[in-house]
A and B are shown apart, each in its own frame.
Chain A
């Protein structure tokens, strides 16, 4: 498999009934139904997880690692996403969650929330640079980065060129462990994730760097074992296991990252369609005086990720509780050298929407697509397996579908054949 097109989001063929729900909701039109089953077009998928949320038959799933993966390493570090704290009610405090997480077989915990605070500080410094063009768009959500990669080549230079909290956490946690004398190859760092896109960003990083994360575990997969451990975990003592301040914890929800920046006009956008709309405006340069855009693909941000357990609105209340309990100061961060957190390479434009490498051929194809779109019924019903009549026209011109995939066209054709047969009968 080509490394570039690894995807976490995959299809369970047996469960798929070939309905039109996913094709209609995919923001990059990356799904078709062919021969009664959904097919994900790898080049187009951005792993946003919309299809996972929408599929009534749970036929879309995110491939993550199983807890067994940690056995491959001697020193096991858990990197819990702050959204984990929103999964449980008030009696399950952050300290209790973290201690129980250790009980699942980890040797050490490095809160991603702590790394988020470092990213906040690095971002503040980044935004102070007078030479950068604003608004700067957060790069914390990998689905958004990939959306920009395939749809908005002109916004690539607006991406915040700072590693995500997950990557910063993994790098720092490993460095700490190595300082204790543990050899690097024996250390494994595992992200506890609300998100499918994070899996992809670990296995096939968009900025072409190697990830420091060695495995990604879904919150929903560790939820039950964690809850069992927590029930046996006695009263909470504050023994310094939770090191992040409130700022880092708040990153799990919408507005967490942007309000942490303290000042300037920073906006928080969530839900992939809303993100798409704000990117449209950004590219037209019609956003007035906006300095920073926090853009998260999932509704309610990471709390609404496809791999969480709790309803995102309930999780929001749970998280707020933990934000209030946490110290307001940011955790001590080694920030002497911010450059360390800056991307070493860049994100590339992936022109996957392009019809042809040759502009003249692309024009010809576009013309044919226009003609076909006019000839199609315009119902956008999805029965052909493409999300809209125009998408079917594109598929036909690109050689991936035929006109009679359209059931309206098929009916017309059958009608024509019938009248031909009738006419022949009469002449006989």
Chain B
């Protein structure tokens, strides 16, 4: 009992072509495990947003995923600049993404609000100049 499935992914910096691969892989695993579709959806969206944030702001990073019988925990960590004002960053539409990123259709200021909306628990540890660790939990 107490089986835990673990997956680790590298999130490359500034490479939008592979951004989203980790969340897509996790989504397929959850489908195989028979997790309810709405939980899969929330997990996939929250994780994708975190992944994209790591690409845009965090110079890439890592994703560590643990799936057990009752929940999925996703830890996305980067060694980027950290979030200056977390409260502000949680507001819809607030973004520090440069214009070049926005032109690509990212950086609309919905990343963190979307994560909060779709995760059951969202924990963000951030330190200026050191990086950010985002932990997303969705209960099945």
Contacts and interface: CB of A to CB of B under 8 A. Distances in A.
Nearest to B52: A286
A310 to B, nearest CB: 35
Contact of B105 (A154, A288, A366): A288
Nearest to B33: A362
Contacts of B40: 153-154
B129 interface: no
Contacts of A359: 33-35, 69, 140
A195 B20 CA distance: 33
Interface residues of A, number: 25
B3 A349 contact: no
Contacts of B3: 360, 363-364, 366-367
A151 interface: yes
B41 A281 contact: no
A353 B69 contact: no
Interface stretch (B23-31, B79-87, B91-99): B23-31
A280 B44 CA distance: 10
A335 interface: no
Interface in B105-132: 105
A151 B31 contact: yes
A414 interface: no
A151 B32 CA distance: 10
Nearest to B28: A353
B32 A366 contact: yes
Interface residues of B, number: 28
Contacts of A280: 20, 24
A63 to B, nearest CB: 30
A366 B32 CA distance: 8
B32 A362 contact: yes
A29 to B, nearest CB: 11
Contacts of A351: 31, 34
A366 B5 contact: yes
Contact of A154 (B24, B29, B41): B41
Contacts of B28: 353
B24 A363 contact: no
A357 interface: yes
A362 B48 contact: no
Nearest to B48: A284
Contacts of B29: 366
B100 to A, nearest CB: 16
B36 to A, nearest CB: 9
A423 B32 CA distance: 45
Interface in A322-369: 349, 351, 353-357, 359-360, 362-364, 366-367
Contacts of A356: 34
A151 B31 CA distance: 8
A153 B20 contact: no
Given A355-B33, A357-B34, A363 B69 contact: yes
A349 B68 contact: no
A362 B37 contact: no
B5 A363 contact: yes
Contact of A362 (B1, B20, B34): B34
Contact of A284 (B23, B35, B38): B23
Interface in A271-288: 280-281, 283-286, 288
Interface in A187-240: none
B108 to A, nearest CB: 8
A364 B20 CA distance: 26
A30 B137 CA distance: 33
A370 B4 CA distance: 11
A367 B7 CA distance: 11
Contact of B44 (A151, A283, A288, A370): A283
A360 B1 contact: yes
A33 to B, nearest CB: 22
Contacts of B68: 363
Nearest to B37: A153
Interface of A: 151, 153-154, 280-281, 283-286, 288, 349, 351, 353-357, 359-360, 362-364, 366-367, 370
21 contacts: A151-B31, A154-B37, A154-B44, A284-B20, A284-B23, A284-B24, A285-B45, A285-B48, A349-B37, A353-B28, A353-B31, A354-B31, A354-B32, A355-B34, A359-B35, A359-B140, A362-B32, A362-B33, A363-B67, A363-B69, A364-B3
Given A153-B40, A154-B44, A366-B29, 9 more contacts: A151-B31, A153-B31, A281-B20, A286-B52, A354-B33, A359-B35, A359-B140, A360-B69, A362-B34
What 6 A-B pairs have minimum CB-CB distances, sorted nearest first?
A153-B37, A363-B3, A354-B34, A154-B41, A284-B48, A288-B105
